Structure 1
């Protein structure tokens, strides 16, 4: 009975709601609040960045002027010796060779180039390709001893001839580099050179180091019988000159393949999201009474 007067008064009173922040409750629709749209845009941009969008561009096949060329590199144990570069005497012979070969590759834009590495055995580090940037990355990962400590020159030549079998240029060439004597492998240098002659592959043989350290007779026979040339380099400067000489050889027509280039685009929505988020943080910290 005591509550009856209260019920009567409550029915006559206006209904009221109490909020500590009455400015947040306005009569305007939510979609008129710019903060809502800003936060939605931040969310959308972050989701777009996480989706990792890409732009694809197809490069059609076109005629290129060059040759199929395989670089055959000796990675046996002796290539770890230092002193080949007089300017950097502590640098390993193999690292000096890789640096010079890498510069040579960059200049041979019109060639299809592959890399074969040999030691106790031989393997193809990279098939012939016109993607010279990827080729240099592969070359950078090759190191002394990756194919064993011995020197299988015949295996290196034979593996290069097999790699050239997949190329399409009229002119095919091997640049063989070694600092030692043939002492390993199931294929002799003579057998490998004979196979190169049958396939029309020229061999340019490069012996590095002092006379007598590398097998000059084998290199001379390989070059002469295949129609190539023999070079020798006692140090890094001489080796640079050798590759400059080879760089002047006449090119032959070569047709490239279709290639698809992929460009990542996620950075653009990510930058927009970060800019908006940074603006929001600044606004809230600079004007705390106007949070939106």
Structure 2
């Protein structure tokens, strides 16, 4: 909950300008005087505290009027509370195939980043960063994670424990494609999952099975991939077609993101003999065009989304992916805002009246002025 201070009738504050002008004119006016033949004797007289404070009632009156003017402007404290929606069950199916190592940037853009001491994000890193930001914004939505490459497995069941889910995302290691001769099926960088395929159908199946018995009114799968169906035991269209056959209240919407375009695609360069990343003489990583384009199937992803009542996003680079994900949040996750206004009028009114009372008390007692 956040709070802010506001005025219902701010134009009343214009009276403060008039008050300041009146106070200034009043201070310029001289006081009544008594004629003396000589003032020499008064030079040796030190003014008392009462004399020094003789104008205090005037300034108390000015302060009181100023406070009452603010009271008339109706000050209010506005407390804004952002409420999450009804609580959505969400499964994220994240592609961890080898092609997610690709970088969708021109060589000039890469060079500009490296000149500033930065390295470009690959598709997987960009997706992970956006997903982490998405998860941090959730309040009462249960979120789970399925990862897939040549196969698919559940990484984290739907949960409200966003901290542990974020930690699970951080521990994911993408297959960089390097292999040893004695273990050609095992990735050299201790990857989370073998990236030699894109088992979209298996990933959707695992995600759907986790949502099938969920009790929330709204359930959805967010599929993020850069390729077409390759490997796995189920076709990518199997689960969407099954969902489409279900009664409306039992359906699960699938939102699909096709990341990467193939137009400006590069991969990190590795030394073929030592298997280490190649760098230039300044220590900056080198990137090269892939030997062949990565196969994609946007029509399949569009069909998957259409069958289930979701949406398809063609996120051709990291910037477009970020904007598409923001669009998903804006259109799908209805955020309710509750505003509560607290009136501060009476506090200011009482303060102004207290200052007026103090002014009158001083004028009639300790700082009473006698006529001359």
Q: Which runs of 5+ in 2 are unaligned?
A: 1-83, 176-191, 263-293, 335-372
Q: Residue 152 in 1 paired to residue 234 in 2?
A: no
Q: Which residue of 2 aligns with 1:183?
A: 230
Q: Which residue of 2 aligns with 1:167?
A: 214
CA contact (8 A) 1:115 1:125 kept: yes
| 1:195 to 1:143, Cα distance in 2 relative to 1, 3 A | farther
TM-score w.r.t. length of structure 2: 0.48
1:143 to 173, 177, 181: 173
| 1:107 to 1:220, Cα distance in 2 relative to 1, 3 A | same
Greater helix percent: which structure?
1
Q: Which runs of 5+ in 1 are unaligned?
A: 1-62, 253-292
Q: Which residue of 2 aligns with 1:68?
A: 89
TM-score w.r.t. length of structure 1: 0.60
- How many angstroms does 1:202 deviate by? 0.5
Q: How many matched pairs?
A: 191
| 1:137 to 1:227, Cα distance in 2 relative to 1, 3 A | same
- How many angstroms does 1:250 deviate by? 4.5
| 1:180 to 1:250, Cα distance in 2 relative to 1, 3 A | closer
CA contact (8 A) 1:128 1:167 kept: no
CA contact (8 A) 1:109 1:132 kept: no
| 1:244 to 1:230, Cα distance in 2 relative to 1, 3 A | same
CA deviation profile, 1:95-130 (whole Å, cap 9, x unmatched): 121011100111122211111101111111110011
Higher mean Cα deviation, 76-85 or 199-208? 76-85
- How many angstroms does 1:213 deviate by? 4.6
1:232 to 286, 308, 314: 314
Residues of 2 paired with 1:245 and 1:74: CA distance? 21
CA contact (8 A) 2:128 2:169 kept: yes
Residues of 2 paired with 1:250 and 1:217: CA distance? 22
Q: Which residue of 2 aligns with 1:81?
A: 102
Residues of 2 paired with 1:64 and 1:219: CA distance? 27
Residues of 1 paired with 2:94 and 2:128: CA distance? 9
Residues of 2 paired with 1:196 and 1:147: CA distance? 27
Residues of 1 paired with 2:296 and 2:239: CA distance? 18
Q: Which residue of 2 aligns with 1:50?
A: none
Q: Which residue of 2 aligns with 1:215?
A: 297
CA contact (8 A) 1:70 1:164 kept: yes
Secondary structure of the corresponding residue to residue 220 of structure 1: helix
Residues of 2 paired with 1:190 and 1:251: CA distance? 26
CA deviation profile, 1:154-198 (whole Å, cap 9, x unmatched): 111111101113422111101101001111111111212123333
CA contact (8 A) 1:80 1:144 kept: yes
Q: Which residue of 2 aligns with 1:30?
A: none
CA contact (8 A) 1:84 1:209 kept: no
Q: Which residue of 2 aligns with 1:204?
A: 255
Q: Please list, as runs of the form range in 1=range in 2, the aligned pairs for 1:1-292 lying within 5 A after superposition.
A: 65-83=86-104, 90-145=120-175, 146-149=192-195, 150-197=197-244, 198=246, 199-210=250-261, 213-251=295-333
Residues of 1 paired with 2:95 and 2:332: CA distance? 26
CA contact (8 A) 1:94 1:143 kept: no
CA contact (8 A) 1:208 1:214 kept: no
